[in-house]
Amino acid sequence: MMFVYTVRAGDSLFGISQRFDIPMEMLQTVNGLATTAVVPGQALLMPSDTYVVQSGDSFWTISRMAYVSVDALRAANPDIVPEELQTGMRLNIPGIERRVATHFSYTQLRTPALDSALIADHAPYLTYIGLFETHFNWNGDLSPLNDSAAILTSWQNRVTPVLAVTNLTAAGFNRALVQRVLNTPAVQARLIDNMINMATTRGYGGINVDFEGVRPADRGAFVSFLQTLKARIQPLGLNLSIAVPAKMDDTVPWAYGYDYAAIGAVVDLFFIMAYDWHHAGSEPGPTAPIENVRRTVSYAASLMDRSKIIMGTPFYGYDWVIPYTGAVPGVAITYQAATNLAMSEQVPIHYSETDQSAYFYYTDDAGRNHVVWFEDVRSLFTKTQLVYNERLGGIGTWQLNFAMPQYPWVFTRYFQIRKA
């Protein structure tokens, strides 16, 4: 069991550990704290099956911290009268019935030793790991991957390794490459042959198609490509998954190339990249505002078997110079880096209840003002609850190289992770 405590002005990590009877070292480990210099507004995951009542608490405020209903909290504490709550009382935090769910994540391969260590560390909480990435060229040939150690470690730990195939280039995702593959039969046939050859000879359990920037005019051709690929790999026992941009309806021009219903009928897993509503090239804001995520999930679930849907969540945010003019793009920042930055700058962290996302302001050494929006443990709880309540196939994350130390605690509170 667990709850989330939000640091208040005047708090110290030592004092928090004393008040809630949780060792300070455990709080540091669970929350990935490099120092003890916590700041007001910082959310801490508190691993405990009891809650020590603080001044000003009520059953309602405690239920929100523990992400349970007031009724469930009352049922777990039948001898305590809510109106007679007193500081120092201990309340039992109720558990919930876990559901079997998939966790699909990615890792950007680095070195065999680092890749193996990371996969082994996360394996208990993983179903699929997309090894990122191999990309295709104008002829349908694939770039090499130093993937042997990662593949072996995955299977040894009951995680299915997945070949992530993209249209990435040194300049970013190249939509012209996708256009060529979808409209040139010989190149498409060569690419599919190469994907299958690489997946089977290297020992993968599936293929993940991450073609970004599919043109609206290629909407039907993209579905046909996936149907052809699926027909080829299904007899081989390979899983087919896709990463698609988030959209709340079918009127978004730049995402019209992705026919949710038709794609959902073909693939085994439908990974929605439910993030980047705000990004490096946009004005500042939350990367995954919860209402947009909810609407995207609702739209997708209306068009396909919801057990196929993997709702992707970000382990990152962005840092922008303000006032924003567009001249200086934002910079991606991981949860861990954002938290460390707020602590080193000793600035308070704010939280948007509307967006379910954290943010803070700071001034850099050059005197420029910044705002950082990022996903914290509260954001993660809210999104995990959404997957749980909507009975989706599972949750996805981008990506394991971005440390989010609380995620195993949160995911395993709600889910029994499906294993290979």
CB atoms within 10 A of CB 173: 15
Residue 403, classed as helix, strand or coil, is coil
At 196, phi and psi to the nearest 5? -65, -40
Whole-angstrom CA distances from 311 to 321, 400, 412 are 30, 15, 16
Candidates 25, 83, 133, 212; catalytic one: 212
Phi/psi class of residue 81: alpha, beta or left (left: φ > 0; alpha: ψ in -120 to 50)?
Answer: beta
| Cα 162 to Cα 302: distance, rounded to the nearest angstrom | 27
Active-site residue flag, 212: yes
Q: Give the integer Cα–Cα distance in Å for 363 and 268.
A: 47
Distance CA 63, CA 56 (A): 14
Query: Coil, strand, or helix at residue 332?
Result: strand
Cβ neighbour number for residue 119 with a 10 Å cutoff: 25
User: What number of CA atoms fall less than 13 Å from residue 120's CA on the CB side?
Assistant: 10
Phi-psi region of 41 (alpha: psi -120 to 50; beta: other; left: phi over 0): left
Is residue 236 within 8 Å of residue 192, measured between CB atoms? no
**Which positions are annotated as active-site residues?**
212
